[in-house]
Homo-oligomer: A and B are copies of this chain.
């Protein structure tokens, strides 16, 4: 019925009818690219967005929420890195609106068809001259080539060490649709949400023909099972933004309640999980990607509490950095998570190795456990034997480099 395939070197411009650019406007002192623009060539481009649930939502987040609520179509997303435009009060909101107005003037779309995103230092005001400069440089550079998508992905980076793009094709409904995406985010990454939200900046493009309500529903579901499953430092950002634009160019219509919708939603989820995973792998100072799986919890809420407690435990994260199979820290985190279970029935596995059996040491030799946590990637599975609910989280370790990055980032 459907066949899904990743395009490893792909990105947002792998999708017909989207162009992008990444340029240096001057927001970053380093001189690295810091302004990205994504444009859809189809007037009837549907869209959806999910955002941080932090009360101090940045000005661009507040503006984009208006777009999701009020705008019928979206034609462009302008993103700057280096300045978050968060905690900038009325002046910050005016700056976000003014960014759309300038983009509108230069691109010829209405301001309501333009979204913005920002990432970087909190508390500084956007320099509108730099926004204009970014747009004036980016617009002539707009291109549908893969290289242009890669430029955009590079321009939205902050503490990321590598840009993150992906694309995929899906044969569905007698046609082929393409999904492209780029994301940034290596710090202030945390899945402990109160309401549905995402945890970084991500722009997704597709040429499927999907109406906004269905796209919104799919994005929310897939965010919950991708970006909301990752944590680097347990700190939720003020600027988390995920936008998806669907320009309909493929002619493949995705209608609610159909097998095609299910296939598309899954493909969208696969694309988002691909990026989410790479964001954790590129987490600030991270040397390891750890999957924390909780199984047989009493209910879904308990499974999540338990998995997130282990995934965010500073003692666990520093132990992993030290190749230290200190499972006492894992069970302590399970025990204080708030999940209800019988500690004396709990089992824990590192990969396939039993570590804790019925709440006590499983007896696996220390040397084997050290090996299990010494690779760049491993899974910790916690069986609470209290029900049948499960949850998983991707997390990273905390290294000297993490402290270095975050003690020095500001200055």
Contacts and interface: CB of A to CB of B under 8 A. Distances in A.
Determine the main DSSP class of A at the interface with B.
Answer: loop
Given A55-B334, A331-B122, A359-B56, A403 B318 contact: yes
A106 interface: no
B407 A89 contact: no
A87 interface: yes
Contacts of A89: 344, 358-360
Nearest to A404: B400
Residue from the set A88, A92, A233 with the largest chain B CB neighbour count within 10 Å: A233
A54 interface: yes
A313 to B, nearest CB: 6
A310 to B, nearest CB: 10
Interface in A312-351: 312-315, 318-319, 321-322, 324-329, 331-336, 338-341, 343-344, 346
Residue from the set A53, A91, A344, A410 with the largest chain B CB neighbour count within 10 Å: A410
Contacts of A406: 314-315, 318-319, 322
Interface residues of A, number: 72
Contacts of A331: 56, 87, 122, 238
A403 B403 CA distance: 8
27 contacts: A54-B336, A55-B340, A55-B343, A56-B359, A57-B343, A86-B328, A86-B332, A87-B331, A87-B343, A87-B356, A87-B359, A91-B360, A122-B327, A123-B361, A194-B336, A233-B315, A234-B312, A235-B329, A235-B332, A236-B332, A237-B332, A319-B407, A321-B403, A324-B410, A398-B403, A400-B403, A402-B403
Interface of A: 52-57, 84, 86-89, 91-92, 121-124, 187-188, 190, 192, 194, 233-238, 312-315, 318-319, 321-322, 324-329, 331-336, 338-341, 343-344, 346, 356, 358-361, 398-400, 402-404, 406-411
Given A55-B339, A84-B328, A188-B329, 17 more contacts: A55-B336, A87-B331, A91-B360, A122-B329, A122-B332, A123-B361, A234-B313, A234-B314, A235-B313, A314-B398, A318-B402, A318-B406, A322-B409, A324-B409, A324-B410, A399-B403, A399-B407
3 interchain residue pairs of minimum CB distance: A122-B328, A322-B407, A56-B335
